[in-house]
Amino acid sequence: MAALYDWLLVLAIMMVASVPLVAPSNAAISPGNPLYRLMLITIAATFFVGFWRNTGQTLGMRAWGLKLSLPDGSAVNYKQALLRFVCACISALPIGLGFVWVLFSKEHLSWHDRWSGTRIQLIAKDPTPNKTVNANDSSQ
């Protein structure tokens, strides 16, 4: 579900990025245009690699309480995040089998997690509710 959430965001970004290319000529972009494909791949890679490297979480992962890390719990670097993105693209090719593999793996690892040496971990939410501060409270 986190991936679906993220891809909806990425598709929205791709649509917005496509407007300047389509609007001036009011013509469709040819489906095989290699520069346009490169632009779309770059948008997706920048989104995922950027979030994975900087926070370990995309927006979808944050919403579902998931975090990407190395097996020891440390953060991934750009090379590992980019490798995971490329491997995730390969995992998606055979009808998404590389993603579904998580359901059958003892370690609950996707193909791209295995290949890139990364892990998705469930992070606990803060059990204490947010406290509200009363401006009139003199005990502070």
Residue 109 belongs to a domain:
yes
Residue 43 belongs to a domain:
yes
Beta strands 66-69; 119-122: pairing state: antiparallel
From residue 11, alpha-carbon distances to 4, 49, 85, 89, 111 in Å are: 10, 16, 16, 15, 23
Residue 9 belongs to a domain:
yes
pLDDT tens digits along 28-78 = 788 788 999 999 999 999 999 999 999 999 999 999 999 999 999 999 999
For the record, the structure tokens of 116 come out as 């890139």
Q: What global pTM score does this model have?
A: 0.81
pLDDT tens digits along 72-131 = 999 999 999 999 999 999 999 988 888 888 888 888 888 999 999 999 998 876 655 555
Residue 111 belongs to a domain:
yes
CA nearest to 91, candidates 113, 120, 69, 121: 113
pLDDT tens digits along 12-28 = 999 999 988 887 777 77
Residue 97 belongs to a domain:
yes
From residue 2, alpha-carbon distances to 61, 67, 99, 101 in Å are: 5, 11, 12, 16
Start-to-end Cα distance in the chain: 42
Number of domains observed in the structure of the chain: 1
Residue pair 83/116 in contact by the 8 Å Cβ criterion: yes
